Amino acid sequence: MSGTAGTALVTGASSGIGAATARRLATRGYNLILIARREERLRALAGELSAEHDVTGVAVPLDLERTDELSDALTDVLATASRPLTAAVLAAGHGLGHGPVREADAEPWESQLRLNLLAPMLLVHRLLPELDATGGDLVVIGSLFGTRPQPGYAAYAATKHGLTGFVRSLAEEERPSGGCRITLISPGATNTEFSSVLAGAENPCVHDVSDWPYHPLLAEDVAASVEWVMSRPAHARVTELTVDPIDARY
C-alpha cells in the first residue's frame, strides 16, 4: 500500500536534486514533507506527487537561513505527519559569492554559512530523535568541493568542508547506537538551476551543455543515488558516496 514506507522530509525540494529526490521517493510510497522557499513551485510539486502516486505531499515554505525558527517550524510540521519520519534528505544550498577571494563579493558568505552549514546541522539535531526511533535514513547532500581545494569557490568549499566534517563525525557518534543510517553523498558538477545561478543567469535554468568539454551529472543521477542508498538492506549502511561525471574536466 502507498505511504507504508513512512514519511520523508526533503529540503531544497522546489528544484534540482531536492525535487528529483522527492519524485523518486514518491514512487516508493513515501509520504513527503517538502521544504523550500519558493512556495508556488513547492505546492505544485506536492500536488503533483500526491495525485500521481497516492501519497501525502505537504509543502512547507520555509527560509532555512532563518535558523532561529527551524526547530519550532519542524516540530509543528512533524506533529501533523500521518506517518512516522523514516527519512530525511537535506539538499538545500547555494554558492553565491564565488570568485577569487580578493575579488569576490563577500556579502553572501554569511548566507552560505547559514544555508549550507548551520541549517543542516540544526536540522539534523532536531530530526535525529525521530529518525533514531524508526531506524530511518538521514542523507546529506554535500559536494566534491567538500574534500578538495577549489579556487574561485573558497567560501562554498569552506561550507562543504565543514558539512563533510560534521556528517563524518556524526556518523561515528551514531555507529554504536544502531539508530538511523547516515550517508553523505558528494556529487561533482551537476546541471541544475544552482549551477546556472553560479554562472550569473538572471533567470535560473538548466544549461544547454552541448558545447561543454564534459557532460555534467543531472539532478536525477544524484536522486538515483539517494534512492539506492536508502534501498539497501537494514543491516547495511553506506556512509559516504561520491558521484562524479565520468569525463569531468575541472
Q: Reply yes or no on whether 250 is catalytic.
A: no
Q: Cα(227)–Cα(225) distance, rounded to whole angstroms?
A: 5
- Pick from 93, 179, 173: which is nearest to 138 by CA? 179
Residue 140 DSSP symbol: E
Rounded to whole angstroms, the Cα distance separating 21 from 70 reads 22
Q: Which residue has the cell 523514516?
A: 86
How far, CA to CA in Å, does 101 sit from each of 7, 44, 109, 153, 162? 41, 39, 11, 8, 18
Question: Which three three-digit cell numbers place residue 171?
Answer: 556518523
Return the SS3 of 181.
strand
Catalytic hit among 30, 153, 156, 250: 156
Active site residues: 156
